[in-house]
Amino acid sequence: MFGLEKRDTFLLGVVIVLTLFAPFILNPFPANSAMAQFNAGYPDLMQRFVIFGIFAIGFNILFGLTGYLSFGHAAFLGVGSYSAVWMFKLLSYNVVPALVLAVIMAGLFSALIGFISLRRSGIYFSILTLAFAQMSFNLAYSVLTPITNGETGLQIYTSDPQYLQSASAPAFPNLFGAAMNSSTTLFFGGWTFTFSVGYYFCAAFLILAFYLAIRIFRSPFGMMLRAVKSNQQRMNYTGLNTRPYTLAAFVISGMYAGLAGGLLAAMDPLAGAERMQWTASGEVVLMTILGGAGTLIGPVLGAGFIKYFENIFAKINDNVLHGWFAFMPDGIEDAMVAIIHPFVGKGWHLTLGLLFMLVVIFLPGGLVEGGQRLGRVFRRKDHNAGSVESDAAQQRSEAAE
Amino acid sequence: MDAVLLQILNGLDKGSAYALIALGLTLIFGTLGVVNFAHGALFMIGAFCSVTLQRLLTLSVETIDETQKDFLGNPLKVKTPYVENWFGPEMGQAIIDWSVPLAILFAIPVMLLIGFIMERGLIKHFYKRPHADQILVTFGLAIVLQEVVKYFYGANPIPTPAPDVFRGSFDFAPLLGLDTSLAYPYWRLVYFGFSTVIIAAVFAFLQFTTFGMVVRAGMADRETVGLLGIDIDRRFTIMFGIAAAVAGLAGVMYAPINSPNYHMGMDFLVLSFVVVVVGGMGSLPGAVLAGFLLGILESLASMNEIKNIIYGIDQIIIYVVAIVILLVRPRGLMGRRGVMEE
Amino acid sequence: MAILEVKNVGKRFGGLQALSDVNLSVAENSVHAIIGPNGAGKSTLLNCLVGKLIPDTGSVMFDGQSVLGRKPYEINQMGISRVFQTPEIFGDLTVMENMLIPCLAKRDGAFQLNGWSRIVGQRDMIDKAEEMLRDMNMIDKRHMHAASMSRGDKRRLEIAMCLAQDPRLLLLDEPTAGMARADTNNTIDLLKQIKDERDITIAIIEHDMHVVFSLAERITVLAQGTPLVEDTPDRIKGHPKVREAYLGESQDAA
């Protein structure tokens, strides 16, 4: 179907089902139960799942396939956000021109940076992209204030022209009238399910982004990108020019980042420089690695995983912890709370850092590889798993040896 | 003219910090072939050694002083630092006042230990893994280290004053025969002097000891030295400890210049990488030279006269220089030909 | 008719004159070996032919066109394929993918942004790759990871990849270095088979005299960066200068 192999169609189907039914799947607990804090089925969080999923899918096309580790992709996300907000300011709250400009600007910007950075490889490439991103961040923060509104961040004021905004259209980013922040809520027994326009809009893009990624992975172009990672010398002596291949991968991933940035702005029409900081670039690297670089589904999993736990962990405070361990004797309860305390709430980044180290050390293939190892333990032979997924994971572990 | 001089002086202390961090980065990269993204965190931990020692020294015992009354007429509770009890009030005060320089003694074993543990426990296992994995795992470690510090010390910068005698400024103007004043804080002079001493010590160590000779040979050609039957790994572990200590000492003494906060390491790390690249990956003199050059350059670019010509240049000058260097002369100012040129 | 014409080529590295005044002419559809002791400049010469190094002086003409100043991939597209001393293959890819890449490079050129088409849709390329694998007796290994194969198989695959491009000139850089005798003999047989079945010119740099004398039609002896003598294998064997410069010190190898 759609020009895909059977297992890829299956993978795409899984992603479609998961995204479409996410409001149900992510809200398994009744709204007023003690477990409701683990629900993630509210629009704001679900939007971040899919938007960062798109960002990570794009990043994976560069890093997972070619092995070029960019530490500057947040810059393209930021460019996408700024472009989208400017379209809201100048034209109207319609998201279509905003996203189009976001993708185009991010594409142009990444072509420029990629053209320069890709003249080097290895750590030099990583440092170059890092320098560019940090430079962009500094520029956005100070020098380019007329465009970026500096520290305050770019937002929409009533004084903005909005030349094409009609009086009847919603005063919020919308798709031909359907506002991104509008939603319907379904009450079912004790459960509450929220269906938001914004979420489904983003979800449609995630599915599209995922489909495109599959096509790229399975194309001769994708194979060439993997060849770049494997052996550039052989590439050159096989009559292939690696530079345009890596540049194309860089620009494609930059455009994905721009789309993600545009969507962020469409969900909440403001853009700030901190979106471009290199820690933000580090986050997308984390997502990709955690999920499994070079695999199709990995980045989506990684993005979901990190965004989910970031949100849930942040909500766990000492009261919640005491609630959990209430069944224990007081002394042990306090000890347990004291042990876990540094890792939750504001300590989420500590958990994230540890998790990240553990993954890089023990599971270079990420969650996908972890899942496969588990699968191999439970089933003696694994007929089902997408062989490319396992291939990529296997390659990682082989490269590690 | 004197404005330029002042900016050059101002660039020196930042340049010193860059140089020291870059020196450690280069030592690690040159010897172990590892790109250490956690090196900034070591600098940060060094700064927090100052904070810690200051806190330890001011640990106080609470006594009730019957001779004094508070405004309610109750006996006043007085906190006396233990050191004052042990060494007498004057000596105790002096020790507390000198806590930052004293922290050097405290930091050396701490940083060496952290360095050894890091190398033996983690870095060792990444020698043969791709650079990307090294970057990633040390990046993760950097996050962990800074979050641990944040957990214990909070997110706010912690002022850590220098000893009283260094509080003032030195006026260079009379010395140079200038009319205007050219005030430069004493502590920054101390920092510059201290950095010079450390740098000289590292170079002397590498130049004049057998240990250093082996390490230098190892930097030039690891395999051959390995073939000689020299236990290069153990020496490299020690080298990692030394690099960690250098970064840590840079941090210890930097605490009075910039109140330590948990993310100062990351801020310095990016720039230190740029310094290493500009100096030439694997070149120790290059790292030092580029550290000072970029520190001064950054300082000069923040002069109003220059900012008026090119608006905002101070924000990006270092990156622009790095990008140009990487493209035009990828081996950096003093890098050897063929080292990581691709 | 010479397909490769090297004239007055010189190359200097700092104080070392690696090549000086090298003249070499490789006839079309012949097997030409370049031998010489270590440090004679064999590898330097090879690198000058494929664009990895640019000689300081002289010219290198392939099929009437200069290769100087061209990038390795451009020279490859002109019809020169290179086999490396240690097999250079795409270790992370499967054997089949390894074969497809040169096929696609031959058809689509140095760069093609075909991110929308599918590998499985490239029927003609797959057929071509499979045929080549069958020729090489490697068809049963097509789903293997290239990195997990034996060294002999890697060498075989690399040669197959080069041949898949239908090159006019195949350059081999010590193709049997570090190989066991059995693998060496297999490689010799393979190269003989290639020479018999294809319109192809082979230039081979080799240390192992057994390989050279089983394959070569003409031999150039390089010593200290300059050609000592060029002749047929039989005459080279008896040549006093060659014995002195080279064979004398490794007679048992011959």
Does residue C131 lie within any of the structural domains? yes
Q: Are B290 and B281 in contact (CB under 8 A)?
A: no
Helices (H), A118-196: 122-138, 145-148
Q: Give me the pLDDT at residue A1, please.
A: 57
Are C22 and C53 within one domain? yes
Better-scored residue on pLDDT, B227 or C145: C145
What is the average pLDDT across C171-198? Answer: 87
Are C55 and C108 within one domain? no
Does residue C99 lie within any of the structural domains? yes
Q: Give me the pLDDT at residue B61, please.
A: 81
Q: Give me the pLDDT at residue B340, please.
A: 46
d(CA B185, CA B169): 4
pTM for this predicted structure: 0.89
d(CA C158, CA C90): 9
Q: pLDDT band at B4, cuts 50/70/90? A: confident
Our measurement of the distance from residue A216's CA atom to the centroid of its chain's CA atoms, rounded to an integer in Å, reads 18
Q: At what angle do helices B2-32 and B264-279 cross, to 10 degrees?
A: 80
Q: Give me the pLDDT at residue A311, please.
A: 85
Does residue B43 lie within any of the structural domains? yes
Q: Give me the pLDDT at residue A269, please.
A: 92
d(CA A351, CA A313): 9
Chains C and B in direct contact, meaning 3 or more beta-carbon pairs closer than 8 angstroms: no
Look up residue B118 and give its amino acid: M
**What residues in B contact A282, CB-CB < 8 Å?**
139
Does the pLDDT of residue A87 top 90, yes or no? yes
Torsion, CA A160, CA A162, CA A163, CA A168, rounded to 10: -130
Q: Chain C within 8 Å of A401 (Cβ-Cβ)?
A: no
Does residue C127 lie within any of the structural domains? yes
Does the pLDDT of residue A318 top 50, yes or no? yes
Are C193 and C228 within one domain? yes
d(CA A100, CA A88): 12
Q: Which of B147, B151, B277 sits opposite A127 (nearest CB)?
A: B277
What is the average pLDDT across B250-254? Answer: 93
pLDDT tens for each residue of A153-212: 898 888 888 888 888 888 899 898 888 988 888 888 888 888 899 999 999 999 999 999
A236·C72 Cβ contact <8 A: yes
- Euclidean distance between the first and final Cα of chain A, in Å? 38
**What residues in A contact B340, CB-CB < 8 Å?**
122-124
Q: Which of B274, B316, B327 sits opposite A138 (nearest CB)?
A: B316
B163: DSSP letter? P
Look up residue A230 and give its amino acid: S
Task: Look at the block and give the residue holding tokens 């489909």.
Answer: A211
Mean pLDDT of chain B: 84
Does residue B77 lie within any of the structural domains? no
> Neighbouring chains of C at 3+ CB pairs within 8 Å?
A
Q: pLDDT band at B226, cuts 50/70/90? A: low
A 57-96 residues with CB below 8 A of C?
none
Does residue B69 lie within any of the structural domains? no
> Neighbouring chains of B at 3+ CB pairs within 8 Å?
A
Are C216 and C239 within one domain? yes
C118·A3 Cβ contact <8 A: yes
Where does a domain end: C138, C165, C192?
Answer: C165
Which residue is closest to B316 within chain A, CA to CA? A135
pLDDT tens for each residue of A108-122: 999 999 999 998 888
Task: Look at the block and give the residue holding tokens 């320089």.
Answer: B101
Are C99 and C75 within one domain? no
Q: Which of C81, C101, C148 sits opposite A227 (nearest CB)?
A: C101
**What residues in C contact A5, CB-CB < 8 Å?**
120
Q: Give me the pLDDT at residue B283, please.
A: 85
Task: Look at the block and give the residue holding tokens 């006093």.
Answer: C240
Q: Return the percent helix, strand and coil in chain B, to nearest 5.
A: 70, 5, 25
Does residue C57 lie within any of the structural domains? yes
C92·A229 Cβ contact <8 A: yes
Distance between A366 CA and the closest CA of chain B, angstroms:
12
d(CA A98, CA A80): 9
Are C176 and C145 within one domain? no
Number of other CB atoms surrounding residue C182 within 10 Å: 9
Mean pLDDT of chain A: 87
Lowest mean pLDDT among A136-145, A303-312, A387-396, B137-146: A387-396
Distance between A177 CA and the closest CA of chain B, angstroms:
41
Does the pLDDT of residue B88 top 90, yes or no? no
Most confident residue range from A98-107, C59-68, C145-154? A98-107
**Residue range of the domain that includes C67:** 1-79+167-254
Q: Are B150 and B261 in contact (CB under 8 A)?
A: no
Where does a domain end: C165, C189, C205?
Answer: C165
Are C23 and C128 within one domain? no
Does the pLDDT of residue A133 top 70, yes or no? yes
**What residues in A contact B262, CB-CB < 8 Å?**
none
Distance between A1 CA and the closest CA of chain B, angstroms:
36
Classify residue C123 as exposed, middle or buried by CB count within 10 Å of its CB (0-12, 13-18, 19+).
exposed
d(CA B15, CA B188): 11
| Secondary structure element (H or E) that encloses residue B228, with its range | none
Does residue B89 lie within any of the structural domains? no
Are C173 and C248 within one domain? yes
Q: Give me the pLDDT at residue A198, please.
A: 93
Q: pLDDT band at B337, cuts 50/70/90? A: low
Distance between B336 CA and the closest CA of chain A, angstroms:
15
Q: Give me the pLDDT at residue A220, please.
A: 95
Q: Give me the pLDDT at residue A381, please.
A: 52
ipTM of the complex: 0.91
A215·C115 Cβ contact <8 A: yes
Are C177 and C128 within one domain? no
d(CA A47, CA A203): 8
Q: Give me the pLDDT at residue A278, please.
A: 77
Q: Give me the pLDDT at residue C220, please.
A: 92
Which residue is closest to B311 within chain A, CA to CA? A143
d(CA B247, CA B287): 13
d(CA B135, CA A293): 15
B58: DSSP letter? T
C113·A248 Cβ contact <8 A: yes
Q: pLDDT band at C61, cuts 50/70/90? A: very high
Q: Chain C within 8 Å of A397 (Cβ-Cβ)?
A: no
Q: Chain C within 8 Å of A119 (Cβ-Cβ)?
A: no
Q: Give me the pLDDT at residue C248, please.
A: 52
Does residue B199 lie within any of the structural domains? yes
Q: Give me the pLDDT at residue B182, please.
A: 73
Q: Are C82 and C203 in contact (CB under 8 A)?
A: no
Q: pLDDT band at A398, cuts 50/70/90? A: very low
d(CA A255, CA A337): 44
B162: DSSP letter? P
Chain A, chain C: beta-carbon pairs less than 8 Å apart = 118
List, in sequence order, every beta strand (DSSP E) within A27-111.
none
Are C148 and C230 within one domain? no
DSSP calls for A315-350: H--HHHHHHHGGGS-HHHHHHHHHHHGGGSGGGHHH
Burial C207-219 (b: 16+ CB within 10 A, else e): bbbebbbbbbebb
Better-scored residue on pLDDT, A250 or B134: A250
SS3 A153: coil
pLDDT tens for each residue of A56-79: 999 999 999 999 999 999 999 999
Q: Chain C within 8 Å of A250 (Cβ-Cβ)?
A: no
Does the pLDDT of residue C89 top 90, yes or no? yes
A239·C109 Cβ contact <8 A: yes
**What residues in B contact A139, CB-CB < 8 Å?**
312, 315-316
Q: Are strands B75-81 and B60-69 parallel, antiparallel or unpaired?
A: antiparallel
pLDDT tens for each residue of B160-207: 888 888 887 877 777 777 777 777 888 888 999 999 999 999 999 988
Does residue C133 lie within any of the structural domains? yes
Most confident residue range from A60-69, A361-370, B98-107? A60-69
Does residue C84 lie within any of the structural domains? no
Does the pLDDT of residue B271 top 90, yes or no? no
Residues 6+ apart with CB under 8 A from A4: A12, A214, A215, A218
B270·A142 Cβ contact <8 A: no
**What residues in A contact B122, CB-CB < 8 Å?**
357, 361
Does the pLDDT of residue C246 top 80, yes or no? no
**What residues in A contact B277, CB-CB < 8 Å?**
124, 127
Distance between A43 CA and the closest CA of chain C, angstroms:
33
Number of other CB atoms surrounding residue A171 within 10 Å: 12
Q: Give me the pLDDT at residue C129, please.
A: 94
pLDDT tens for each residue of A262-291: 999 999 998 988 888 877 888 899 899 999
List, in sequence order, every beta strand (DSSP E) within A250-398.
270-271
Does the pLDDT of residue A385 top 70, yes or no? no
Q: Give me the pLDDT at residue C251, please.
A: 45
Q: pLDDT band at A399, cuts 50/70/90? A: very low
Are C161 and C174 within one domain? no
**Residue range of the domain that includes B201:** 2-55+99-328
Considering its fold, how many domains does chain C have in total? 2
d(CA C201, CA B338): 34
Does residue C253 lie within any of the structural domains? yes
Does the pLDDT of residue A299 top 90, yes or no? yes
* Domains of chain A listed by start with CATH number: 6-276 (1.10.3470)
Considering its fold, how many domains does chain B have in total? 1
d(CA A296, CA B14): 45
pLDDT tens for each residue of A221-265: 999 999 999 999 999 999 999 999 999 999 999 999 999 999 999
What is the average pLDDT across A128-137? Answer: 88
> In this structure, what CATH number is given to the domain that contains residue B238?
1.10.3470
Q: Give me the pLDDT at residue A382, please.
A: 46
pLDDT tens for each residue of C23-36: 999 999 999 999 88
Are C55 and C71 within one domain? yes
If we measure between CA atoms, which residue out of A260, A311, A267 comes closest to residue A281? A260
Does residue B9 lie within any of the structural domains? yes
Residues of C near A (CB-CB distance < 8 A)?
50, 71-74, 76-77, 81-82, 84, 88-94, 97, 100-102, 104-106, 108-122, 145, 147-148, 161, 165
Does residue B280 lie within any of the structural domains? yes
Q: pLDDT band at B336, cuts 50/70/90? A: low
A181's torsion region: left (phi>0), alpha (psi -120 to 50) or beta?
A: alpha
